[in-house]
Structure 1
Amino acid sequence: MKLHAAAILVIFWLGVFTVHTVKGSIGSQPMRKFSCVSLSTQQLNIRNLVSYEKQQVPVNAIMFITRKGIKICVSPDQKWVRSAMEKIDQKRTTKGK
């Protein structure tokens, strides 16, 4: 009877350890809530953009965020995209002063 109870206890602790290990390894990886999978081809109005994020996976992209919180993904290779990023960076540095 004692051997039976010990076996159940060991199985229980192995189960707890396994769940804790799996949960920790998955939970410790940062995950984006929104990720670019396709890119817009339209040029955006720079005045409506408030920030951006660079992304390389699953596609190389710049994710612009508008005043209304809309996220739009575009190719970083376009000239207007680099210009918009510079303008947003300038706004950030003048706000910090």
Structure 2
Amino acid sequence: MRLLILAILAICCLGAYIVEGVGSEVPDRSVCVSLHTRPLPVQKIKSYTIKEGSMKAVIFITKRGLKICADPQAKWVKSAVRSMDKKSTTRRNMVQTEPTGAQQSTNTAVTLTG
């Protein structure tokens, strides 16, 4: 009897795991219900996205992974977006490139016989 109960419990757990996996394939929809009004420190922001629709919003993603919706017309939001854009431009410009084949040094030895 215990074996039957364990088997049924295992099947239920497996079914819940499979259903959860199927649900995770649904595309991520970020919907803002309300807008954050207090300024968010730029140091805590990892990235942002801009959502258009019934409620226009800037969604800040913090370094901890939290999504915070904010009013795109707010002064602090515009400043944070400019700051994030400036950081990404600076990082892109600082990337060093690998030397190409023409730039790499080649050593050729010449043997003189005489």
Q: Is the TM-score greater than 0.5?
A: yes
Structure having the higher Rg: 2
TM-score under structure 1 normalisation?
A: 0.63
How many Å apart are 1:53 and its aligned residue?
0.6
Where does the alignment leave 5 or more consecutive residues of structure 2 unmatched?
1-25, 94-114
Matching of residue 76 in structure 1 with residue 72 in structure 2: yes
Query: Does structure 2 conserve the Cα–Cα contact (< 8 Å) formed by 1:49 and 1:67?
Result: yes
RMSD between aligned alpha carbons?
Answer: 1.6
In the alignment, which of 75, 92, 95 is matched to residue 96 of structure 1? 92
Aligned pairs, how many? 68
Matched residue, 2:100: none
Inter-partner Cα distance in structure 1 for 2:45 and 2:34: 19
Matching of residue 56 in structure 1 with residue 34 in structure 2: no
Q: Which runs of 4+ in 1 moved over 6 A?
A: none
TM-score under structure 2 normalisation?
A: 0.54
Using the TM superposition, name which of 81-90 and 48-57 deviates more: 48-57
Matching of residue 40 in structure 1 with residue 33 in structure 2: no
Inter-partner Cα distance in structure 2 for 1:73 and 1:62: 6
How many Å apart are 1:33 and its aligned residue?
3.0
Identical aligned pairs, as a percentage?
Answer: 38
Q: State the Cα deviation string for residues 43-83 of structure 1 (Å, max 9, x = none).
A: 11111112111112231110011111110001011111100
Q: 2:40 is aligned with what amino acid? A: L
Q: Which has the higher helix share?
A: 1
